[in-house]
Amino acid sequence: MARNGPDELVFLPLGGSNEIGMNFNLYGFGPPDDRKWIVVDMGVTFGDQSTPGVEIILPDPAFIEEHASDILGIVLTHAHEDHIGAVAWLWRRIKAPLYATPFTAFLLREKLREGDLEG
């Protein structure tokens, strides 16, 4: 398969950049027409007085959903909600392999089980 353009390393923050919470960062490598992606974290942030009535805020996965078949995996760096809190809502939309430490994986499984989202 012919690839067009030079290989590029791309950083694309979909959430969490320049803020506390909602970490959802993409790292891509390859030419624009054949780029592979690694997702780092899928977190939430919490509403405050500036968002009345809103308890949880999720990052917008629309861009990476369009490239879901090009995701190599999702790396969860640690078990804080701002790094794993959106997995329950967003994983089914992109369905990539999850990578985490045993402790983070344990807490994520418990979180999914409590929300009847496991499996």
Which numeric CATH code is attached to 8-114?
3.60.15.10
**Each residue's pLDDT tens digit, 70-95:** 999 999 999 999 999 999 999 989 99
Question: Domain extents for the chain?
Answer: 8-114
The pLDDT of residue 90 is 92
Residues 108-112 have a mean pLDDT of: 89
Q: What angle do CA 44, 107, 13 make, to 5 degrees?
A: 30
pTM, 2 dp: 0.89
- Check if the beta carbon of residue 47 is closer than 8 Å to that of residue 57: yes
Q: What angle do CA 22, 118, 92 make, to 5 degrees?
A: 55
Residues 58-69 have a mean pLDDT of: 95
**Each residue's pLDDT tens digit, 11-52:** 999 998 888 889 999 999 999 999 999 999 999 999 999 999
